[in-house]
Amino acid sequence: MVNLEVKLKDMILKNPVMTASGTFGYGEEFEDFIDISQLGGILVKGTTRHHREGNPYPRMAETPSGMLNAVGLQNKGVEYFCNNIYPRINHYDTNILVNVSGSVIEDYVETAAMINELDKIPAIELNISCPNVKEGGMAFGTSCASAASVVRAVRKVYKKHLMVKLSPNVTDIAEIAKAVEAEGADSVSLINTLLGMAIDSETRRPLLSTITGGLSGPCVKPVALRMVWQVAQAVNIPVVGLGGIMNAKDAIEFILAGATAIQIGTANFIDPQVSVKIVEGIKDYMIRHQVSDINDLIGAINLK
Ligand SMILES: Cc1cc2nc3c(=O)[nH]c(=O)nc-3n(C[C@H](O)[C@H](O)[C@H](O)COP(=O)(O)O)c2cc1C
């Protein structure tokens, strides 16, 4: 038997595999394909204080080894989540984390305060890194001062585990990570999407209505891995790694770079069973390498 259990501060994950926000709906969409209780946790869709329509279509485009999206945080708002979605999903035998997004600080604070009241939600993931909304979003995650200010305000009202999702669209992500750690973040997750664009040369038009959007998938993995490695060395709180993880081998690389847990995003669109396959693949790797405890692999990259 191998031990797959990891801890994000006081939050216990039965294994390090979680699904990434915006790519797994509310979990319900995947119930026909996998047993959700097999996962360490799920991150539900970006949730905002008010209902949001999202951006106009087209808002997804395939790119070499990845995709661009500009969904723009489409959701029915936090009140709808609390009253209608939470009662449907709170029986899942795994950690349910709500990805909280906003335009101004008060949005984050209000939304976090409402989620704080939900018994079966042990944590939120504060999204200060969305590149697809005009106001707020990524703007908060690209300077130490603004990242710190939103975390400080939310920390006052949110009493459970506070994970902060960082933007890769910065010069020094480790500095932002240190700034949010100093304001009381319990963990950081990275990376959100990289700002990108695609053009159809025949029509001479951009492929997305918003012209630019968020790049994800295998093409971002080397950037994500590098950032996870840098951040893991800079902070004392746990790091959750994501960006282009398609299989167990990718997941192990993030863990070796210093991630305590990982999230699977774009890969869910290709294979809805990929997350549980990755749990199995991690187990196989551990047996093959005679590692009995997953915690022994965290940050165990050999640099000599
Ligand atoms: C269609 C789509 C929607 C997304 N929506 C959100 C969101 O609501 N909140 C968020 O923090 N990240 C969102 N993301 C970013 C992912 O959670 C993840 O950070 C990113 O895609 C990188 O991981 P991946 O390469 O495994 O997909 C979204 C990504 C995609 C592709």
The confidence score (pLDDT) of residue 130 equals 76
* Mutation to probe ligand 1, out of 99, 216, 242 (largest number of atoms < 8 A from CB): 216
Which residues of 20-148 form beta strands (DSSP E)?
Answer: 41-47, 60-63, 66-69, 95-100, 123-127
- Contact call for residues 40 and 18 (beta carbons, < 8 A): yes
* Mutation to probe ligand 1, out of 76, 193, 245, 275 (largest number of atoms < 8 A from CB): 193
Q: Strand order of the sheet with strand 194-197?
A: 60-63, 66-69, 212-216, 194-197
Percent composition of the chain: helix, strand, coil (DSSP 3-state, to 5): 35, 20, 40
Angle between helices 144-157 and 173-182 (to 10 degrees): 30
Q: Which residues are CB-contacts of 20 (< 8 A; sequence separation ≥ 6)?
A: 43, 242, 263, 264, 265, 268
The confidence score (pLDDT) of residue 134 equals 66
Question: pTM for the whole thing?
Answer: 0.98
Cα(198)–Cα(51) distance, integer angstroms: 29
In the reported structure, the alpha carbon of residue 23 is separated from the centroid of ligand 1 by a whole-number distance in angstroms of 6
Give 8-52 pLDDT, tens digit per residue.
Answer: 999 999 999 999 999 999 999 999 999 999 999 999 999 999 999
| DSSP-based three-state secondary structure for 204 | coil
Q: Decide: 41 in ligand 1 pocket, CB within 6 A.
A: no
By annotation, the residues acting in catalysis are 130
- Quote the DSSP letter at residue 75: B
Identify the CA nearest to 263 among candidates 286, 239, 281, 283.
239
In the reported structure, the alpha carbon of residue 288 is separated from the centroid of ligand 1 by a whole-number distance in angstroms of 32
- Contact call for residues 46 and 73 (beta carbons, < 8 A): yes
**pLDDT < 70: residue spans in the chain:** 132, 134-136
Nearest residue by C-alpha to atom 5 in ligand 1 = 22
Q: Which residues are CB-contacts of 207 (< 8 A; sequence separation ≥ 6)?
A: 58, 61, 68, 197, 198, 199, 200
Sign of CA dihedral 108, 109, 110, 114: positive
The confidence score (pLDDT) of residue 139 equals 79
Which residue(s) pair with 69 in the sheet?
60, 214
- Where do the domains of the chain lie? 6-55+73-196+217-297
Cα(142)–Cα(79) distance, integer angstroms: 28
Burial class of 14 by CB neighbour count within 10 A (0 to 12, 13 to 18, 19+):
middle
Q: Decide: 137 in ligand 1 pocket, CB within 6 A.
A: no
- Quote the DSSP letter at residue 90: T
Q: Decide: 22 in ligand 1 pocket, CB within 6 A.
A: yes
* Nearest atom (ligand 1) to Cα of 67: 31
- Contact call for residues 228 and 220 (beta carbons, < 8 A): no
- Quote the DSSP letter at residue 49: S
Task: List the structure tokens of 289.
Answer: 């390498």
| DSSP-based three-state secondary structure for 51 | coil
The confidence score (pLDDT) of residue 136 equals 62
Is the domain spanning 6-55+73-196+217-297 CATH 3.40.50.280? The answer is: no
Taking the CA atoms of residue 272, residue 275, residue 278 and residue 280 in that order, the dihedral angle to the nearest 10 degrees is -90
Cα(162)–Cα(144) distance, integer angstroms: 17
